[in-house]
């Protein structure tokens, strides 16, 4: 591995320490660029040498397989600049979405309350257009800045394809999100805090937050929510493979209850999909991502 200025390099890291499922095998290199220049130099080295790589945010929406990963995982959490001008915020991809929700509330800026309790980074949230309670991050975005083929590109939201839990970046894995610019609006701080409290309470009541998990496993099919399908139609609450269980609290969550491996989680996903197809003729689509 080439030495690059402002690049922190760790070797033979266990991905179970960097994923919210607490599963995943070892990876050869785990690196943190501290500047965009370091990231640019790293990417040019990676492409020149045809090295396998993966950009990680907070690891809260992924299943990293148990096999050894002979490549580089790039963690952007050191890119965490934030610039606030009145209602406009430019925030780097490594910044925590939770921290942003909290900063905005302190400033009396409304628009991000829906994201209270989504435990990812700005990069991860933009990549999958994270959302809840009828809102999503792209609704607030004005511009996205990203690195593609060595070039820094800034595009208005209208020029970037996005949709339900989808963005351009899902189909263009070579593009790395650097920052987003969002626009919020002024509101009474107490009203904002009340909303955040309400959403947080809802999550505590309905989601199995006491166990390692990675949020919703499947996208909602057209006719029924994935949770209701798995619970009432497929009767799979509590079903397990090894240490991975379908949560009793929310059937669209898989929890790592007892030292699960990624393989357990993947096998349980396959089983749920199989039963959904067999019993209801529904093809479930994965919301989480399996990284090999
Ligand atoms: C308890 C819990 C509740 C959740 N609730 C919700 C919810 O309500 N709504 C929701 O949408 N999600 C939810 N999630 C899922 C997850 O938190 C979000 O999808 C989050 O936005 C993922 O961000 P991350 O930084 O953890 O991404 P990661 O899991 O690290 O990565 C996800 C994908 O984003 C890509 N990526 C990350 N950063 C970049 C970047 N800078 N450039 C390009 N690609 C990048 C990765 O390569 C990967 O493909 C929940 C998860 C948990 C554990």
- Determine, yes or no, domain membership for 2: no
Task: Give the model's pLDDT for residue 196.
Answer: 98
- Determine, yes or no, domain membership for 159: yes
Question: Does ligand 1 lie within 6 Å of residue 91's CB atom?
Answer: no
Task: Give the model's pLDDT for residue 91.
Answer: 98
Whether 287 sits among the annotated catalytic residues: the reply is: yes
Please state, rounded to an integer, the average pLDDT across all residues of the chain: 97
State the pLDDT confidence band at 56, using cuts at 50, 70 and 90. very high
Give the Cα separation of 70 and 91 in Å (integer). 31
Identify whether the C-beta of residue 111 lies closer than 8 Å to the C-beta of residue 104.
yes
Domain around 172:
82-205
pTM as predicted: 0.97
- Choosing from 57, 75, 93, the residue where a domain stops is 75
For the segment 259-283, the average pLDDT, to the nearest whole number, is 98
197 and 108 assigned to the same domain:
yes
86 and 192 assigned to the same domain:
yes
Task: Give the model's pLDDT for residue 292.
Answer: 94
- Determine, yes or no, domain membership for 214: no
Whether 165 sits among the annotated catalytic residues: the reply is: yes
Task: Give the model's pLDDT for residue 193.
Answer: 98
More reliable by pLDDT, 1 or 117:
117
* N-terminal to C-terminal alpha carbon distance within the chain: 20
173 and 64 assigned to the same domain:
no
25 and 88 assigned to the same domain:
no
Task: Say how many residues make up the chain.
Answer: 292
197 and 88 assigned to the same domain:
yes
List pLDDT tens digits, range 152-183: 999 999 999 999 999 999 999 999 999 999 99
Q: 62: CA distance to ligand 1 center in Å?
A: 8
268 and 168 assigned to the same domain:
no
Question: Does ligand 1 lie within 6 Å of residue 92's CB atom?
Answer: no
List pLDDT tens digits, range 121-131: 999 999 999 99
Question: Does ligand 1 lie within 6 Å of residue 20's CB atom?
Answer: yes
58 and 102 assigned to the same domain:
no
125 and 197 assigned to the same domain:
yes
Task: Give the model's pLDDT for residue 150.
Answer: 93
Strands (E), 109-164: 109-110, 131-132, 135-136, 141-148, 151-156, 162-163
Q: 56: CA distance to ligand 1 center in Å?
A: 9
Question: Does ligand 1 lie within 6 Å of residue 33's CB atom?
Answer: no
State the pLDDT confidence band at 80, using cuts at 50, 70 and 90. very high
Question: Does ligand 1 lie within 6 Å of residue 180's CB atom?
Answer: no
List pLDDT tens digits, range 6-43: 999 999 999 999 999 999 999 999 999 999 999 999 99
Which CATH number does the domain housing residue 175 bear? 3.30.465.10
- Determine, yes or no, domain membership for 274: yes
Query: Which secondary structure element, helix H or strand E, spans residue 269, and what is its range?
Result: helix 262-280
61 and 23 assigned to the same domain:
yes
98 and 71 assigned to the same domain:
no
> Which ligand 1 atom lies nearest to the CA of residue 207?
1
Identify whether the C-beta of residue 217 lies closer than 8 Å to the C-beta of residue 226.
yes
Structurally, the chain folds into a number of domains equal to 3
Choosing from 165, 179, 247, 262, which is the catalytic residue? 165
44 and 86 assigned to the same domain:
no
State the pLDDT confidence band at 101, using cuts at 50, 70 and 90. very high
Query: Residue 137 — φ and ψ, nearest 5°?
Result: -65, -35
- Determine, yes or no, domain membership for 29: yes
Which tokens is 66 given?
A: 């148990």
For the segment 219-239, the average pLDDT, to the nearest whole number, is 97
Task: Give the model's pLDDT for residue 27.
Answer: 98
CA 145 to chain centre: 18
């Amino acid at each position: 591995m080439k030495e690059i200025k402002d690049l922190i390099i760790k070797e033979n890291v266990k991905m179970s320490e960097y994923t919210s499922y607490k599963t995943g095998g070892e990876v050869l290199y785990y690196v943190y660029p501290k500047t965009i220049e370091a990231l640019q130099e790293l990417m040019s080295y990676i492409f020149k040498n045809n090295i396998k790589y993966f950009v990680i945010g907070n690891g809260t929406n992924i299943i990293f397989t148990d096999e050894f990963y002979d490549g580089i995982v790039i963690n952007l959490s050191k890119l965490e600049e934030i610039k606030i001008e009145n209602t406009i915020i430019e925030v780097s991809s490594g910044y925590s979405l939770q921290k942003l929700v909290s900063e905005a509330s302190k400033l009396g800026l409304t628009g991000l309350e829906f994201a209270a309790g989504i435990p990812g980074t700005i990069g991860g949230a933009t990549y999958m257009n994270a959302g809840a309670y009828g809102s999503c991050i792209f609704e607030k975005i004005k511009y996205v800045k990203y690195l593609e083929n060595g070039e820094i590109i800034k595009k208005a939201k209208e020029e970037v394809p996005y949709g339900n839990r989808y963005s351009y970046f899902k189909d263009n894995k070579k593009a790395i999100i650097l920052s987003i610019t969002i626009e919020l609006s002024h509101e009474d701080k107490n009203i904002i805090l009340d909303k955040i409290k309400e959403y947080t309470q809802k999550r505590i009541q309905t989601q199995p937050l006491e166990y390692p998990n990675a949020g919703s496993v499947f996208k909602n099919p057209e006719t029924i929510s994935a949770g209701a399908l798995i619970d009432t139609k497929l009767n799979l609450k509590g079903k397990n493979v090894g240490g991975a269980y379908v949560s009793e609290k929310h059937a669209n969550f898989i929890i790592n209850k007892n030292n699960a491996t990624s393989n357990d989680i993947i096998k349980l996903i396959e089983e749920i999909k199989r039963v959904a197809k067999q019993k209801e003729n529904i093809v479930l689509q994965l919301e989480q991502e399996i990284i090999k």
